Amino acid sequence: DNIKSGDKVAIKVHVGEAMNTHYLRHDFVHEVVKAVKSLGAIPTLVETQGGGNHLQEIEIHDDYLICVGHRKNTFEHQAIAKLHGYDETIVGAPLKFIDGEQGIERRIIEINGITLKSVSVAKDLYNYDKLLVISHFKGHPQAGFGGALKQLGIGCVTKHNKHLAHADGMLKINERKCDTSQCKQECISACPVEAIKIENEKALIDAELCYGCFLCLLKCPIKRE
């Protein structure tokens, strides 16, 4: 009853990880899309990018490569989505990544919570009149189950907030060990958001830009303590 003709309706989905069969099937989503269209509304499937860096590359055939571990950008995420049937020709609605190409486009909302004082909500979520959440339940090592609340609390925020929800603070440089004059400074080129700069032969991380992908850690010859 809350959806009216002409409403732009975001349907929050999770397309699943590569090489994983435990994801929400597109058939169910297709039925929801049909129901929304029957009300005269305009449905769009929405999702956010996965956090971090991918763990493994698998070549399906000569010109089709998928990355297992994370869906960190639109190119990789779209490939996995199509592999799992999340294509407009099948589901009946387009898939939109509401946090942008790299998962960092956000609107900061102040909440003054116990742990988080603000939330980086995916920017394009605000382009819709209504939001429907379709979830599948799965085991989760800390929360017990992941479902509709996780689809909102993690699935509708940017990588920055995903990292804060899963880690104890942001990445920090060990100033005692870091000496950029003794390395190739690969951490700088590895960072996808240019959050690292050099001052006095020490690497510095901008916590406002960093979203904890750990690519700098993988390149650092010293690693961590």
The per-residue pLDDT for range 94-128, each reduced to its tens digit, is 999 999 998 889 999 999 888 888 999 999 999 99
Please tell me whether the overall predicted TM-score, pTM, comes out greater than 0.85 for this model: no
| Co-location of 138 and 210 in the same domain | no
| β-sheet bridge partners, residue 110 | 118
| Co-location of 92 and 197 in the same domain | no
Establish if 2 belongs to a structural domain: no
Confidence category of residue 218, pLDDT binned at 50, 70, 90: confident
Rounded Cα distance, 205 and 105, in Å = 19
Establish if 157 belongs to a structural domain: yes
| In the predicted structure, residue 185 carries a pLDDT above the cut 80 | yes
Ranges of beta strands (E only) in the chain are: 8-12, 42-47, 56-61, 64-68, 95-97, 106-110, 118-122, 130-133, 138-140, 144-146, 196-199, 202-205
Best CA proximity match to 156, nearest among 9, 6, 42, 10: 10
Radius of gyration over every alpha carbon of the chain, rounded to an integer in angstroms: 19
Domain boundary among 141, 166, 191: 166
| Co-location of 83 and 161 in the same domain | yes
**pLDDT mean over 185-202:** 90
| Co-location of 38 and 114 in the same domain | yes
Position 17, amino acid: E
Establish if 175 belongs to a structural domain: no
| Co-location of 120 and 149 in the same domain | yes
**pLDDT mean over 186-199:** 90
Tokens standing for 225? 């303590």
| Co-location of 84 and 13 in the same domain | yes
Sign of the Cα torsion 35, 39, 45, 48 reads negative
Dump pLDDT digits (tens) for 133-162: 998 776 666 655 667 888 898 899 998 888
Position 196, amino acid: I
Tokens standing for 88? 């407009």
| Co-location of 29 and 132 in the same domain | yes
| Co-location of 191 and 85 in the same domain | no
> Percent of the chain at pLDDT above 70?
86
Residue 88's H or E segment, with its range, is helix 88-91
| Co-location of 87 and 198 in the same domain | no
Dump pLDDT digits (tens) for 19-57: 778 788 999 999 999 999 999 999 999 999 987 655 555
Structural domain for 196, as ranges: 180-219
Establish if 31 belongs to a structural domain: yes
